[in-house]
Chains A and B, each alone.
Chain A
Amino acid sequence: MPVTTTVTGTIVFTDIVGFTQLTDEHGDDLALTLLERQEELVQRALPDTARVVKELGDGLLLWFDDPRTAILTTLALQRAFEEESDGDLPMWVRIGMHWGCPRARGDDIVGRDVNLASRITDLAAPGEVLCSEATADEAGAVPGVGFEPLGPVYVRGIADPVPLVRAFAL
């Protein structure tokens, strides 16, 4: 058995919507430009208490020590992506997160909570930040941020429905 530790924090996925279509129509150079721009904006926004865990095709897996910072940072990121989309090409990114206790494996994180964060991201629209209710509860009241409960959601690979919340800037 490999040596692993359990860590507690917020798991965040980003995903560029329409990436395959844009790449198909405009070629690999555009794909690289979008990926580099996404990473540049993310790296610029991340505080010291967060990091990029790894790149996943057209998305990123991020780690934040606390959910409040994760919510504030990702909402700011969505504003940056929206400004980026004012140009000719859209930078439509959906973001999902879950606060939990994954296992750390080197720099990587694995486990049910990582899978759940990924599934939550699948339900977000471009420009949205969705989080599990556990994330919102752990964050508590966040100045300048509203939470809209969306109800429980069945997600692939998770037995019980998971209460979901949309975070938005007030």
Chain B
Amino acid sequence: MGDTLPRLRITRRSGKVRVVAEAGATLAVEGGSFVPGEDGVVDIRAFGGSVLEVRCPAGSDLTISTSSGAIDVRGDAGSVKVTTKSGSVAIERATAVNARGASGRVDVGACTGECHVVFVSSHVSIGEAGRAVIATVSGNIDVGAVDDAEVKTVSGTISLAARPGGRLAARSISGAVEISVPSGSRPATHLKAVTGRVRSECEPGHDGEIRAKSVSGSISVTCR
């Protein structure tokens, strides 16, 4: 496979998928087999047991597709693309994330680049991200620390914590929007709720930008 990091495509209809990406590891698969694909991507298929476990070098790019199995990525992955109908998704650390599905909790510890999550009813929790692009219908959204975010939900609540100078945009229909900025920050704010309550305790300035809009959900911007 040479010195380049592997790109792995893991496909499994149901059952848990666990990937451990760690420095110095070589590709190993338990509960399944792997074959190099014609496009340079390694295809991994499960045998049918309860857990498919993959060990790979840190920085490996992963594309994981399941219908209903839980997906658990530990260690330092590269780009992680996940699609599932109802499985929960947990990703410890990655350079980029794109996760899509219907239901099941989504947890991302840290994503240095863009973390793009589209789910219908899942609770989405991201510890930290360079950029977060998130859309849910009813699932709550919680982002611990982010430089740049575009977040939308119909009825879920949104909780975002901006890093210094962060540029955040949040929109909801009925869900509450809560945004916190570092203490002493003076962001430019553009806040509008058609019928919901709007509250900001930050002095206006130019330390980043907060845009929030809702129909009936409340909006609050606080300093932490």
Contact = CB atoms under 8 A, between A and B. Distances in A.
B137 A17 contact: yes
A151 B13 CA distance: 14
Contacts, number: 72
A164 interface: yes
B66 interface: yes
B174 A21 contact: yes
Chain B contact surface mostly: strand
Contact of A124 (B9, B102, B118): B118
Chain A's interface size range is 20 to 34
Contacts of A25: 173-174, 215-216
B83 interface: yes
A154 B98 contact: no
Interface residues of B, number: 30
B66 A90 contact: no
B177 interface: no
Contacts of A89: 194, 215
Contacts of A122: 102, 120
Given A25-B215, A90-B173, A152-B83, 5 more contacts: A26-B215, A89-B194, A122-B102, A122-B120, A152-B11
Interface of A: 17-18, 21-22, 25-26, 88-90, 92, 122-128, 148-156, 161, 164
Interface of B: 9, 11, 13, 63-67, 81-85, 98, 100-102, 118, 120, 135, 137, 152, 154-155, 171, 173-174, 194, 215-216
